Amino acid sequence: MERVAVVTGAARGIGAAVARRLAADGMAVAALDLDEAACADTVARIVSAGGTAIAVGADVSEADRVERAVERVVAELGPPVVLVNNAGIIRDNLLFKMGEEDWDLVMGVHLKGAFLMTKAVQGHMVDAGYGRIVSLSSTSALGNRGQANYAAAKAGIQGFTKTLALELGRFGVTANAVAPGFIVTEMTASTAARVGVEFEEFQRAATAQIPVRRVGYPEDVAHTVSFLASEGAGFVSGQVIYVAGGPRG
Ligand SMILES: NC(=O)c1ccc[n+]([C@@H]2O[C@H](COP(=O)([O-])OP(=O)(O)OC[C@H]3O[C@@H](n4cnc5c(N)ncnc54)[C@H](O)[C@@H]3O)[C@@H](O)[C@H]2O)c1
């Protein structure tokens, strides 16, 4: 039977690439995002490649929505044993200009979202005696100007991950984090727009700072998630893998 995976923020960018990759790896994938219709493209690409996928609409920061979403996954695909906490937003500003709402929104999606999703799914993993939890951190966890909220959330994901590894290891469940550097998505495009630089130029400037001299793509992250979500990675837990073309971004 196909293993069931839930990927949050799967409508586009890194989440969409992860959903396609896990489906290609043989998993049945629930592509979850704020808007169910926005996942149609991700699902269509998986199905046309011969895979199994459904679109699920939910805000990961709302407990009721998360519980209902996971119940739907169980009913339509079966109990999930792979979870990728990928949904994310940015609300960048220097600390003195950062509003309380910008702090709460970022914490709500990244940290509370990962907490609620993991809590809703972990029982199914424990029942199965098998599970793989992969959460998206970032090189920003090491500190990044203008991202006090996001950096704190992404560092928090690392502590959350290590604690999950300690608590759930005995049930056959691993938990790891992937920390990307510069990845070409709408998120980095929006940062370029915010600072008033053409996205091409923004990517060239980033490339000059990256040891492998190229920017990253969603598929680079999906490859690492695929490894951590695989059965063979069962002795790797509580780790943070930087996918940044160098030791850090
Ligand atoms: N792009 C990068 O350079 C980069 C680097 C490091 C880490 N990351 C992390 O990778 C993840 C994916 O980033 P991306 O670049 O693909 O971003 P993106 O903005 O292209 O996609 C994020 C997706 O998450 C969804 N989402 C946002 N809030 C949600 C919520 N409350 N509930 C459900 N879905 C929600 C959005 O609708 C969107 O489809 C994020 O956690 C991000 O912080 C990205």
* 78: in domain: yes
* 191: in domain: no
Q: Ligand 1 pocket, 136 CB below 6 A?
A: yes
* 202: in domain: no
* Residue range 174-190: mean pLDDT, rounded: 98
C-alpha distances (whole Å) from 21 to each of 17, 58, 117 are: 6, 22, 20
Share of the chain above pLDDT 70, in %: 100
* 114: in domain: yes
Q: Ligand 1 pocket, 202 CB below 6 A?
A: no
Overall number of domains in the chain: 1
Residue 4, burial from CB neighbour count under 10 angstroms (0-12, 13-18, 19+): buried
pLDDT at 125 over 90: yes
* Residue range 124-135: mean pLDDT, rounded: 98
Active site residues: 150
What band does 216 get if pLDDT is binned at 50, 70 and 90? Answer: very high
* Residue range 216-224: mean pLDDT, rounded: 98
Structural domain that includes position 31: 4-181+217-243
* Residue range 26-42: mean pLDDT, rounded: 98
- Supply the pLDDT for residue 1: 75
For a substitution probing ligand 1, which of 21, 33, 70 has the most ligand atoms within 8 Å of its CB? 33
- Supply the pLDDT for residue 249: 46
* Full-model pTM: 0.99
- Supply the pLDDT for residue 248: 78
Token representation of residue 39: 């996942």
* Residue range 185-199: mean pLDDT, rounded: 96
Bridge partners, residue 179, by sequence: 242
Element (H, E) at 124: helix 113-128
Q: Ligand 1 pocket, 29 CB below 6 A?
A: no
pLDDT at 147 over 70: yes
For a substitution probing ligand 1, which of 18, 86, 240 has the most ligand atoms within 8 Å of its CB? 86
Q: Long-range contacts: 155-158, Cβ < 8 Å, 24+?
A: 156/107, 156/110, 156/111, 157/85, 157/110, 157/111, 157/114, 158/240
CA of 9 to the centre of ligand 1 (A): 6
Residue 129: DSSP 8-state: T
* 110: in domain: yes
Q: What is the mean pLDDT of the chain?
A: 98
CA of 24 to the centre of ligand 1 (A): 21
* 21: in domain: yes
* Residue range 108-115: mean pLDDT, rounded: 98
Element (H, E) at 74: helix 63-76
What sign results for the dihedral spanned by CA atoms 66, 72, 77, 81?
A: positive
* 190: in domain: no
- Supply the pLDDT for residue 29: 99
Q: Ligand 1 pocket, 7 CB below 6 A?
A: no
Q: Ligand 1 pocket, 102 CB below 6 A?
A: no
Reduced to 3 states (helix: H, G, I; strand: E, B; else coil), residue 243 is strand
Q: What are phi and psi of 181, to 5 degrees?
A: -95, -130
**Short-list 66, 57, 4, 9, CA closest to 29:** 4
CA of 77 to the centre of ligand 1 (A): 24
* Residue range 21-47: mean pLDDT, rounded: 98
* 195: in domain: no
Q: Ligand 1 pocket, 164 CB below 6 A?
A: no
Domain at 112, CATH number: 3.40.50.720
Token representation of residue 238: 């509580």
Q: What are phi and psi of 131, to 5 degrees?
A: -170, 155
Element (H, E) at 156: helix 148-168
Count of residues in the chain: 249
Ligand 1 atom having least distance to the Cα of 154 = 43
- Supply the pLDDT for residue 143: 97
Q: What are phi and psi of 146, to 5 degrees?
A: 85, 5
